[in-house]
Amino acid sequence: SELHSFLQQLPKCEHHLHLEGALTPQLLFSLAAKNHIQLPKDDPAYASPEALVERYRKFDSLDDFLGYYYIGMSVLLYAEDFEALAWDYFEHAASDGVLHAEVFFDPQAHTSRGVSYDVVHSGFQRARERAQTELGISSELVLCFLRHLPPADAMSTFEQDAVLASFSAGGVVGIGLDSSEKPFPPELFQAVYSKAEAMGLKLTAHAGEEGPAEYIRSALDTLKVARIDHGVRLIQDPALLERVAAENIMLTICPMSNVFLKGVSSVAELPLREFIDAGIRFSINSDDPAYFGNHYILSNYCAVQEAFHLTTDEWIQICDGSIRGSWCSEGRKEELL
């Protein structure tokens, strides 16, 4: 349709995409076979890629999804696997009209399985270089800490030589915080965020996806983040809403993710009209598209359009704000605007 092609050609930036969440059931099964990884025999979901797709349609919460997410990534062993994973994502991003992508990854989920940080990072780096040269997509990596693990684990990950080296020249622009939100409030991770801030890294954290608005306040006050990933529960705290608008904090909204994980019953239930009216900046993103019905970024844009019937001007505002809120160079921003 005309609207679909209008949304396709908008200059899109993606700010909330977990590379491990781009692992399609098809790639999952092919890497399991290649790497001789035994998938759980006691869960009928792993009978076939088709059965897995069906199971993914029935998540009842973030934690239900995360169980499958961590099993899925057990098939990733070699740099070439991480490269194939990221490349699969960048190809989807290119066909959806993404020009710049800031992508999350979860090093602790790999190093805890005996896969070294260098293997993970070098595979992603190769995919990023190819995305730049073959697809014209610029990208940055954002290293996420798993909040269900002890804060000391996050700190020891952060302080590894290979990790520190990847911050300067390795395309890792910042840090994030993901995995089970409750009962792991942001302030638990203040020490590692404070070190990252001192090093000039960009800071974001998941907050207000399933957790309360108070977690959003804590992420701002104790972690000093410039962005909030999800943040939908901001709507429950009018004073905080006003502050987020005044401080120009960007929310990275993931509409289909919220529907799949039962945060809302439909995209129309998201408070996007209220956010626009309050002057809140947000971008629209896909989160874990391979787990959430294959809804990559354009599909999320389309779902928002069907639910909210935004004007052309409003869409241009959203894309403009996404570019300005990106963590690329000022020169790259100028190219994108």
Contact 180, 148 (CB under 8 A): yes
* Interacting residues with Zn ion between 1 and 40 (CB under 5 A): none
Minimum distance of ligand ES4 from residue 250's CB (angstroms): 17
Among 257, 305, 322, 326, binds ligand ES4 (CB under 6 A): 257
Scan residues 66-85 and list those touching ligand ES4 (CB under 6 A): 69
Between CA 142 and CA 178 the distance in angstroms is 11
Residues 249-288 that bind Zn ion (CB under 5 A): 287
Q: What is the dihedral of CA 327, 112, 184, 263, to 10 degrees?
A: 70
Q: 191-198: which pairs have CB atoms within 8 A and are 24 or more residues apart? A: 191/151, 191/155, 192/145, 192/151, 192/154, 192/155, 192/158, 193/222, 193/223, 193/224, 193/225, 194/224, 195/155, 195/158, 196/158, 197/224
> Is 2 tagged catalytic?
no
Out of ligand ES4, Zn ion, none, what residue 21 binds, judged by CB under 5 to 8 A for its kind, is ligand ES4
Single residue of 19, 21, 24, 325 touching ligand ES4 by CB under 6 A: 21
CA pseudo-torsion sign 323, 328, 330, 333: negative
Binding residues among 225-254 for ligand ES4 as defined by CB under 6 A:
none
Query: What does the radius of gyration of the chain's CA atoms come to, in whole angstroms?
Result: 19
Residue whose CB is less far from ligand ES4, 145 or 315: 145
CB of 299 to Zn ion, least distance (A): 16
Binder among 13, 19, 52, 62 for ligand ES4 (CB under 6 A)? 62
Q: How far is CA 294 from the centre of its chain?
A: 15
Total site size for ligand ES4, rule CB under 6 A: 11
102 touches Zn ion by CB under 5 A = no
As annotated, the active-site residues are: 209
Residues engaged in binding ligand ES4 (CB under 6 A): 18, 21, 62, 69, 178-179, 206, 209, 257, 287-288
